[in-house]
Amino acid sequence: MSGRWRPLTRVGAQVWSLVAVLALVSVGFASLSDRFADLDNLRNVLLQAAPTMIGAVGMTLVIAARGIDLSIGAIANLALALALLGAGTRSEAALATDTTWLVYPIAIASGLALGTLNAVATNVLRLSALITTLGTLTLYRGLGLHITAAGLIAVRGPILAFGRAQLWGIGVPVFAAVLMAVAGWVFLSETPTGRRLLAVGGSPRSAVETGLRTERLLVVAYAASGLCGAIAGLILVGRVGVVNPDLGYGMEFTVITAVVLGGTSLFGGRASMFGTVLASLLLTTIDNGMTLIGADPYAYDVVRGVILLIAVSADAASAHMRSRRSPVIPELRA
Amino acid sequence: MRKAYLQIGLAAALLTAPTAFDAASAKDITIGVSFDKIEPFRVAEKKALTDAIEAAHAKMDFANADKDAQRQASQVDTMVSQGVSAIIAIPWDIEAANDLARSTIAAGIPFVSLDQALSDLKSVTYHIGGDPCADGKVAGEFFVKAAAGKPFKLLELQGGLANDNGIRRSRCLDDALKAAPNITIVAQVPTDWNPQKALDGTENALQAHPDLAGIYAPWNDALQGVFSVLKAKNLLLPVGDPKHITIVSIDGTPLGCKAVRDRLIDLEIATPLPEMSRRAVAAAIKASQGGKIEPQAEFLPGIPYGPDNVKAMASKIWGCQG
Amino acid sequence: MTPDPPERALLGVASVGKSFAGIPVLQDVSFTADRGEILMLVGENGAGKSTLKNILSGLIAPDSGAVHFAGRTLAALSPADADRLGIGTIHQELSLFENLSVAENIHLPRLPQRFGRVDRKRMEAQSRAVLQDRLGAAIDPWTPVEELSLGERQMVEIAKAIHRSSSLLILDEPTTCLSLPERARLFDAVRRLRDHRYAIIYITHFMEEVYELADRITVLRDGRVVGGGTPRDMPQEALMRRMVGRDLAELTTVPAAVADDAPVMLEVDRLGDGVAVHEVSFCLHAGEILGLAGLMGAGRSEVAELLVGLRHGEGRVTLAGRAFVERSPRMALERGLVLVSEDRRRDQAFLNRAVRENLSAAMLPVVASGPLGLLALDRERQAAEQAAMTFHVDHPGLEAFMLALSGGNQQKAIVGRWLQRAPRVCILDEPTKGVDIGARAEMHRLIREQAAAGVAFLLISSDLPEMMALAHRVLVLHKGRIVGALSRAEAEAHRILALASTGRVS
């Protein structure tokens, strides 16, 4: 029956071109460094990609609903600061903060709450999400700085477990990322709420006229984004072992790049979770490979910038193709 | 009060070329302090400045530009219009702040740049900072000595690509290494001063070069990322262990000092923060009272110390105190 | 036929009033609609039809009066009320999600689900039931809406409305963008729904639709009900008088004949861009109104764009005897060729500026004076007054905001702005689209007058009666080529339509 079911999360041309680029980039790096095509390195890439990927899954939901969340990195920061505030004990002698398992529920609840606040602010202020989340970006970062006194806080204890644990030799964050991506995909393409989210992104006006509860749906999207930000923050902190003021700084750019590169339209209504995953991997692979081949540090940004431009033009080109495909309408009346 | 001034004079005389400022009365003086951002090192700098300003019996008006040149300009303008006697700023944009400094001075208010030098040193009343080049050079020479003529693979973590400290700590290291063809820099990883990126970079470099011999971590926060990777690979070993990877870092924060005390890093180059702050404040006060500042710019090299002499040096390193 | 008392019918609107910013839009409006009948709600633009529709679909609340529905009385409806009561609305602008499939569009916001997942089987079955059985439309439920024609989209919109509503359906100008066969299919669907015991409120200002569908008619003018009854009680003449509030005799005026020795103003030789337009040749005389007919996408607007240089292509254009080679909008203006396109009319009204400025905008170089080129206010006012008179722009004062003018008067002001420059050739693209009957007649009068004064018009219009009423000759475009040139006597609707749809005379 569903032979003609064409989900908007379908594997589209964008994804195939990503697969091609990823393959090309990998072959290139592999030929320049014999350590690139190596199981250990694959583990590294996956682990390094996990925070970006998780953040990008949340961001995909937001962008699919024609929103944007610039505050995702600030949420990573503030959620972890709040977790330390609630479940950390400063040990002066060791210059480190001891934590309890409570950091996890606190960070996750904070992420959800801060994301929800983004949605509420957007709904109440009736401003564009770009403006509101730019505001909350500053607010959340400011609060984070305030709580941590802008200090670098070395952390110990359970907070490190998530970022460092392994399962069959693979970092647990990798499993978390895959799980989140699958959950995001199922949500968007299989659940009524997910379809409604895409509807809101496709046409906010129609959504209102159709009686969709746009504001509630936005809460779902932004809360998800906040949740993903907090989880990404937990991974970053778990791996590096510090909560620093720069935690999550610039994460929004990497994550939005991954989402758009993955084929999710910035104009909403079209999302590709698979593309998001691939693009996160591609961005991480580029950084990884550049280090492996000992590239000039100034080349990193150039390569990333070129990729972003390709992503944006591909998005525009596909929008252009769609508009050309629009039907020819006979329009005579007698 | 006299005691405080005596100390400044003493400390100044101890360190570099003496710059004896007149001990002017600082009553009713407010110094506007503008920081480019807030991060752990800046917190320490702020504390050092606060101490220095208090010691001079002046008041402080503080603002954080949070990595925004526009914001910094408007914050400084506001301070000037509120009647501060002098500005001490850590500029965010070393190009754009030239105009800010000139216009502030044109308004009759001295502009002292701290830590980050502007692209045009002449635009400020006085500059006092560390000497990133000297620090990079000391680090380079240390690696040359540690390599002792044998092949040596070095990972260089790059702080900021568009930032004076980041650039010069990197370039002067490279210059010092030119003398030793046996040392290869296997990767220069840009990090934006972010420990998470330092972690990924270290992990990737170790993947490419399991026989890595040295890591240059030109700011203390990077150490956390480096240590995480080394620990996971069972390579976080004390100085002296045959498999120990030689690590040099710069800053002199408490975390850096702890790493030295724990014998995890071989050399740390501590920025003389209290001294920098004292000189900045003294120059600001003197200039606001019409005094002439000579020399117009000073660069204080860092104080190198390692696990073997940390006890002896501790009193001179701000991060080792308390 | 006397309407039921409001309480007894399915829907009774009782003395509803509504004002925006102190201006009454609806006053004391009462009517009823019952199951199994089609009520035509007719009126010019601005009569209050849309406001009424929005009140019934719960988008806005009335200031006074009440709505009775199925025995209950409500002061105001919310969208949720409308939903619960089974009231479905098809807005003039379709509210579809182009990125989603037909089935999803029909079912949103309540997608059927099984174990938390979307139940596609049920969605498909229900969509087919509505589309095929109720509406007789063969549309695959899984097609993305962006791939459908406008007519099909309209059907999906109706399917969506009847999927959610069981009792009352409101259609707002549903045929605006439909072709003839699509319109016939829509009428079929509407009649079927009536036979399925739906109450239908059909909003329109097209006479032929009124008499093709109506069981009863309610006429709105200036926010009041000014008449009603069955089609038999209310012949077309009477209905139009009610709608407009005055006689429209001038509608049937024949345009002044073109003088035999009228000079050729525009000569076009094998104009084309290789994509949308191919080898288009014609000539246009002073004082002539030349119609350019064709289906949407046939290349009519593209011809206009080629002529003024908005689009690049080959072919020779001669303007008033001189070759027009370096074509650009700026050069076109300089040479006396103006294009008043649909977009131009929409974009060029400076709504929050004075009427004076709107009228003089194209004349500023003439109005400006003195060595500094400053604007002379009195001269500008004079020019604006003159223009308002020449182009029949009714305004409450030259200094009033453009916003205060009715849509028709705004359009006349914009068209007038360009005609003020005394162009040799004026290309009008859909000059009366979306304008009410009165304004349309005024616009026609203006075009005829200007033609009589010697301006050559190229008239692009999808409105065949307009074309037949105005044009001296009609060119028919099909797939970018001219497939027929009809004289006024030959230009009958069926012939134009046949040429436009097939490229041949059937």
| Poorest-pLDDT segment among A245-254, C81-90, C192-201 | C81-90
Q: C496 in contact with A at a CB cutoff of 8 Å?
A: yes
Closest chain B residue to A142, measured at CA: B66
Question: What are the tens digits of pLDDT across the range C310-332?
Answer: 888 888 999 888 888 888 888 88
pLDDT at A312: 62
Q: How far is A150 from chain B (nearest CA, A)?
A: 5
Q: What does each C-alpha distance from B235 to B145, B220, B228, B264 come to in angstroms? A: 21, 19, 10, 10
Residues 219-238 of B with CB under 8 A from A: 220-221, 224-225, 227-228, 232
> Which residues in chain B touch residue A301, judged by CB atoms under 8 angstroms apart?
161, 190
| Fold topology of C251-502 | Rossmann fold (3.40.50)
Contact A330 C140 (CB under 8 A): no
Q: A292 in contact with B at a CB cutoff of 8 Å?
A: yes
Kindly indicate the confidence band of residue C19, based on its pLDDT and cuts at 50, 70 and 90: confident
pLDDT at B5: 44
> Best mutation site among C118, C149, C158, C483 for testing chain A: the one with the most A CBs within 10 Å?
C118
CA distance linking residue C426 with residue C289, whole number of Å: 10
What percent of chain C is modeled with pLDDT above 70?
A: 87
Region C297-313: what's the mean pLDDT? 86
Task: Report yes or no: B287 and B86 within 8 Å, Cβ to Cβ.
Answer: yes
> Which residues in chain B touch residue A81, judged by CB atoms under 8 angstroms apart?
none
Phi, psi of B60 (to 5 degrees): -120, 140
Higher-pLDDT residue of A224 and C462 is A224
Q: A233 in contact with C at a CB cutoff of 8 Å?
A: no
pLDDT at A232: 96
Q: C207 in contact with A at a CB cutoff of 8 Å?
A: no
Q: A202 in contact with C at a CB cutoff of 8 Å?
A: yes
Segments making up each domain of chain B, as ranges: 2-130+273-301, 132-270
Q: What does each C-alpha distance from C431 to B99, C252, C436 come to in angstroms? A: 57, 18, 12
The secondary structure element, H or E, covering residue C485 is: strand C481-487
Question: What are the tens digits of pLDDT across the range A166-178?
Answer: 899 889 999 999 9
CA distance linking residue C91 with residue A244, whole number of Å: 54
> Which residues in chain B touch residue A253, judged by CB atoms under 8 angstroms apart?
none
Of C116, C144, C150, the CB nearest to A191: C116
Kindly indicate the confidence band of residue C180, based on its pLDDT and cuts at 50, 70 and 90: low
Q: How far is C116 from chain A (nearest CA, A)?
A: 6
Q: How far is B273 from chain A (nearest CA, A)?
A: 16
Options 3.20.20.100, 3.40.50.300, 1.20.1250.20, 3.60.15.10; which CATH number does C11-248 get?
Answer: 3.40.50.300
A135: which DSSP letter? H
Options 3.40.630.10, 3.40.50.2300, 3.30.70.60, 3.40.50.150; which CATH number does B132-270 get?
Answer: 3.40.50.2300
According to CATH, where is 3.40.50.300 located in chain C? Answer: 11-248, 251-502
Contact B253 A288 (CB under 8 A): no
CA distance linking residue B112 with residue B280, whole number of Å: 7
Contact B40 A301 (CB under 8 A): no
Average pLDDT, chain A: 85
Q: A324 in contact with C at a CB cutoff of 8 Å?
A: no
Peptide bond into B295 cis (omega under 30): yes
Kindly indicate the confidence band of residue A331, based on its pLDDT and cuts at 50, 70 and 90: very low
Contact partners for chain C, using 3 or more CB pairs closer than 8 A, are A
pLDDT at B27: 61
Q: How many CB atoms lie within 10 A of CB C145?
A: 22
Q: How far is C113 from chain A (nearest CA, A)?
A: 7
For the cut 60, the answer to whether the pLDDT of residue C356 exceeds it is yes
Single out the residue of C470, C152, C478, C484 nearest to residue C295, CA to CA.
C478
Kindly indicate the confidence band of residue C275, based on its pLDDT and cuts at 50, 70 and 90: confident
> Best mutation site among B200, B230, B320 for testing chain A: the one with the most A CBs within 10 Å?
B200
Contact A152 B221 (CB under 8 A): yes
Region C88-93: what's the mean pLDDT? 81
Region A1-15: what's the mean pLDDT? 52
Most confident by average pLDDT, B63-67, C68-72, C288-292, C429-433: C288-292
Contact A191 C118 (CB under 8 A): yes
pLDDT at C490: 83
Q: How far is A48 from chain B (nearest CA, A)?
A: 7
Question: What are the tens digits of pLDDT across the range C97-149?
Answer: 888 899 999 988 888 888 888 888 999 999 998 888 878 788 889 988 888 87
> Best mutation site among A33, A95, A146, A152 for testing chain B: the one with the most B CBs within 10 Å?
A152
Q: How far is A138 from chain B (nearest CA, A)?
A: 9
ipTM: 0.83
> Which residues in chain B touch residue A49, judged by CB atoms under 8 angstroms apart?
none
CA distance linking residue C279 with residue C479, whole number of Å: 11
pLDDT at C48: 81
Number of cross-chain residue pairs from A and C with Cβ atoms under 8 Å apart: 141
The secondary structure element, H or E, covering residue B81 is: helix B69-81
Kindly indicate the confidence band of residue C367, based on its pLDDT and cuts at 50, 70 and 90: low
For the cut 90, the answer to whether the pLDDT of residue A52 exceeds it is yes
Contact B43 A247 (CB under 8 A): no
For the cut 50, the answer to whether the pLDDT of residue C195 exceeds it is yes
Of A1, A196, A202, the CB nearest to C99: A202
Contact C147 A327 (CB under 8 A): yes
pLDDT at A327: 37
Region C253-270: what's the mean pLDDT? 83
Contact A297 B39 (CB under 8 A): no
Task: Report yes or no: B195 and B169 within 8 Å, Cβ to Cβ.
Answer: no
What percent of chain A is modeled with pLDDT above 70?
A: 87
Torsion B84-B89-B93-B97 (CA) sign = positive
Higher-pLDDT residue of C88 and C1 is C88
Question: Crossing angle, helix A192-202 and helix A39-64, to 10 degrees?
Answer: 70
> Which residues in chain C touch residue A270, judged by CB atoms under 8 angstroms apart?
99
Structural tokens at position A205: 């006006």
**What one-character-per-residue DSSP string does C116-133 give?**
TEE-HHHHHHHHHIIIII
Peptide bond into C109 cis (omega under 30): yes
Single out the residue of A28, A25, A154 nearest to residue A94, CA to CA.
A154
Most confident by average pLDDT, A70-79, A88-97, C445-454: A70-79
Task: Report yes or no: B216 and B155 within 8 Å, Cβ to Cβ.
Answer: yes
Residue B251, beta-bridge partner list: B270
For the cut 80, the answer to whether the pLDDT of residue C179 exceeds it is no
Contact B194 A249 (CB under 8 A): yes
CA distance linking residue A215 with residue A228, whole number of Å: 20
Contact partners for chain A, using 3 or more CB pairs closer than 8 A, are B, C
Structural tokens at position B240: 């002296």
Assess whether chains C and A touch, using the rule of 3 or more C-beta pairs within 8 angstroms: yes
CA distance linking residue C397 with residue C388, whole number of Å: 10
Q: A175 in contact with B at a CB cutoff of 8 Å?
A: no
Domains annotated for chain A, with CATH where assigned, are 8-320 (1.10.3470)
Number of cross-chain residue pairs from A and B with Cβ atoms under 8 Å apart: 113
Of C79, C147, C296, the CB nearest to A330: C296
Q: Domain B2-130+273-301 is in which class?
A: alpha beta
Q: B171 in contact with A at a CB cutoff of 8 Å?
A: no
Closest chain A residue to C463, measured at CA: A333
pLDDT at C362: 67
> Which residues in chain A touch residue C144, judged by CB atoms under 8 angstroms apart?
6
Assess whether chains B and C touch, using the rule of 3 or more C-beta pairs within 8 angstroms: no
For the cut 80, the answer to whether the pLDDT of residue A11 exceeds it is no
Contact A150 B39 (CB under 8 A): yes
CA distance linking residue C324 with residue C333, whole number of Å: 12
Contact A2 C104 (CB under 8 A): no
| Residues in chain B with pLDDT values less than 50 | 1-24
Q: What is the largest CA-CA distance in chain B?
A: 61
Average pLDDT, chain C: 81
Of A191, A322, A333, the CB nearest to C462: A333
Residue C73, beta-bridge partner list: C68
Q: What is the 3-state secondary structure (H, E, C) of B54-74?
A: HHCCCEEEEEECCCCHHHHHH
Question: What are the tens digits of pLDDT across the range A200-220?
Answer: 888 888 887 777 888 899 999
The owner of tokens 């080679």 is C325
Question: What are the tens digits of pLDDT across the range C385-416?
Answer: 877 877 777 777 777 777 777 667 777 787 88
Region A103-115: what's the mean pLDDT? 95
Contact A241 B39 (CB under 8 A): no
Region C190-218: what's the mean pLDDT? 87
Contact C95 A203 (CB under 8 A): yes
Closest chain C residue to A204, measured at CA: C97
Q: How far is C461 from chain A (nearest CA, A)?
A: 9
Kindly indicate the confidence band of residue C347, based on its pLDDT and cuts at 50, 70 and 90: low
For the cut 80, the answer to whether the pLDDT of residue C255 exceeds it is no
Region A19-48: what's the mean pLDDT? 88
Rg (CA), chain B: 20
Kindly indicate the confidence band of residue A314, based on its pLDDT and cuts at 50, 70 and 90: low
CA distance linking residue B280 with residue B116, whole number of Å: 12
Kindly indicate the confidence band of residue A308, based on its pLDDT and cuts at 50, 70 and 90: low
> Which residues in chain A touch residue C293, judged by CB atoms under 8 angstroms apart?
332
